[in-house]
Amino acid sequence: MSYQTAAEPTCTSVPGTVELVIEAKAKDLGGFSVRRVLPSSRRRMVGPFIFFDHMGPAEFPPGQGIQVRPHPHIGLATVTYLFEGEIMHRDSLGFVQPIQAGAVNLMTAGRGIVHSERAGSDLERMSRLHGIQSWMALPTDLEETGPDFVHYPAQDLPQLEQDGLQVRVIIGEAYGVRSPVKSYSPMLYLECRANQGSTLTLPEIYDEQAIYVVSGDVGIGEQKLGSGVMAVVAPGEPAEVTANADSRIMVIGGAPLGPRHIWWNFVSSSRERIEQAKVDWQQSRFTTVPGDDEFIPLPD
């Protein structure tokens, strides 16, 4: 998805298990709300995660839906993870792939890719869209790797159920199971549905880790968190998340990659590389998306 301008998330430092609380700021994109969490002024990244948007939930009447025109990316990999709805992905490699709830589209930009995201097969009926869009920065030695795209059906992702918890391992390894989704650096990405009163013990794998509350109400340490809030866990602190109500949370984390620059849809360890990407998009040097002739101009 294109990096639309959104209000800056609000950050609050807190003592104890939680190092920082980030409250997402909503942006109305014309009948479609997006809540931006990362990057924020106080926290640019968590592990390789440099961008984290909560899309919807949104309801569209027949004939309407998400329409993100072709736009470019460099230096990152994107994951679109839906709870509801369908998005049709098209890219400059020629892939045309609908993504539906629970499945994963892993798009690797590397040295450059262009893609669009349009309404799916549910366009002609009343439809809902709800999900998470995240970007992961690539390690410096892979920033200029060749672009790639892989689709993983929902049934391929491992799922665990125990004591009122339902955990899906989207990327990485946790609780003895490993996701088949490719990762370019050590990282973890989980979805957890927690019944009221249940407790999730976060894996003590990486120093950089955070939870995001999609819906419900949870507690971690002394901190209470409602929907639309991310809590960055303090390094070295064992953490348990208790559901005060039926809740859905996302867990992200990983090994730090070092600082990255982000401008529009471009991510790089080099400012000069981002400047070059701007020129390349303006001068139509990126490969176009077959069958989708529109494009998003470079922002002013």
What is the per-residue pLDDT across 14-55, written as a single tens digit (0 to 9) for each? 556 899 999 998 887 656 788 999 999 889 999 999 999 999
Q: How far apart are CA 249 and CA 232, in angstroms?
A: 13
What are the chain's domains? 10-282 (2.60.120.10)
Pick 239 or 170 by higher pLDDT. Answer: 170
Q: How far apart are CA 283 and CA 51, in angstroms?
A: 26
CA 14 to chain CA mean position, Å = 24
Q: How many helices (H) and strands (E) does the chain have?
A: 1, 27
Pick 120 or 10 by higher pLDDT. Answer: 120
Residues 65-82 as b/e (b if ≥16 CB within 10 A, e otherwise) read bbebebbbbbbbbbbbbb
Amino acid at 105: N
Q: Lowest-pLDDT range, 61-70, 203-212, 214-223?
A: 61-70
For tokens 């407790």, the residue is 199
Q: How far apart are CA 219 and CA 233, in angstroms?
A: 12
How many C-beta atoms lie closer than 10 Å to residue 29's C-beta? 16
Pick 234 or 190 by higher pLDDT. Answer: 190
CB 65 within 8 A of CB 127: yes
* % the chain with pLDDT above 70: 92
Pick 298 or 11 by higher pLDDT. Answer: 298
Q: How far apart are CA 147 and CA 38, in angstroms?
A: 23
Q: Which stretches of the chain are DSSP H helices?
A: 271-282
Quick check: helix, strand or coil at residue 97?
A: strand
Instruction: Kindly state the tokens that stand for 152.
Output: 């993983």
CB 7 within 8 A of CB 26: yes
Note the maximum CA span of the chain. Answer: 56
Q: CA nearest 209: which of 11, 19, 13, 14? A: 19
pLDDT one-digit tens code per residue, 149-208:
999 999 999 999 999 999 999 999 999 999 999 999 999 999 999 999 999 999 988 889
Q: How far apart are CA 156 and CA 71, in angstroms?
A: 29
Checking if the pLDDT of 292 tops 60, the result is: yes
